[in-house]
Structure 1
């Protein structure tokens, strides 16, 4: 998993230097961190109704615990100065978890309400975006842990 993550990051970081593609409003990349057990998420952003929609897919596990989660966030993006923005958002999350250890075997599907707040910088020289954000979530259904989750994440995305 770590090797695959390294390869994905390496490819994303070299894309700006290997292409002269026109920069657009879409972005794809990785969001590192984000909560308990979440190492990284594949992240996609696109313009939507004058603001932006973000779709993130995370998966992984630790030992006997496995999960996946799909989160959709509608974000209001506001400029600070050239290339620098802050944003607020909210949306749903859908996930599945599985826990298998000795005599304990449990799994479930959950839905959650997610908030999102962060800052980002879009480089002018290369089509790269870097962001840091927080995403508190409140589980609205079955979950193996506390129904309130909180995480901080670093995002690296290629803009196209």
Structure 2
């Protein structure tokens, strides 16, 4: 009986400690990182509940050597650290398309990748969110058949 009481108290304490935080229904902005050579991405977040959301990022590059597009989708769990300061972890994947020009002409490739995500964010009292995240990506395809690490600063408008 004593063990059951202690277990119940522990579960109740854990439930109270993992309280729901206020995440925005929508946020859109930029994710400024390497993005495997594509640079900045347009980033959109959509809340699915009190502590879960989807993030979709679109990066593209149009240079004299190649054109490339990268679409990433992540499911994220958001946990409160302190007030407006949260941390998050997520998993997902995406698609990358590469179209070579000039010396790379005829090099048209498509690759799939899986990705993880971990980071911190701060939601200001104004509708602004700033985040810093680390995203490892494992690619499957000719031009993206490796493990890449991306660190990025995100700036988003929340509503």
TM-score, normalising length: structure 2: 0.78
Equivalent residue, structure 1, for 2:3: none
Is 1:28 aligned to residue 22 of structure 2? no
Distance 1:98 1:54, change over 3 A: same
Shift of 1:86: 0.5
4+ residue segments displaced more than 4 Å: none
SS at match of 2:75: strand
Name stretches of at least 5 consecutive residues in structure 2 with no aligned partner: 1-22
Retained in 2: the 8 A contact 1:34–1:134? no
Higher relative contact order (CA 8 A, sep 6+): 1
Name stretches of at least 5 consecutive residues in structure 1 with no aligned partner: 1-22
Shift of 1:38: 2.0
Give the whole-Å Cα distance in 1 for the aligned partners of 2:144 and 2:109: 12
SS at match of 1:75: strand
Greater gyration radius: 2
Superposed counterparts of 1:130-141, under 5 Å: 130-140=130-140
Give the whole-Å Cα distance in 2 for the aligned partners of 1:107 and 1:152: 27
Shift of 1:122: 0.1
Is 1:101 aligned to residue 102 of structure 2? yes
Q: What do you get for the CA RMSD once the two structures are aligned?
A: 1.9
Number of aligned positions between the proteins:
136
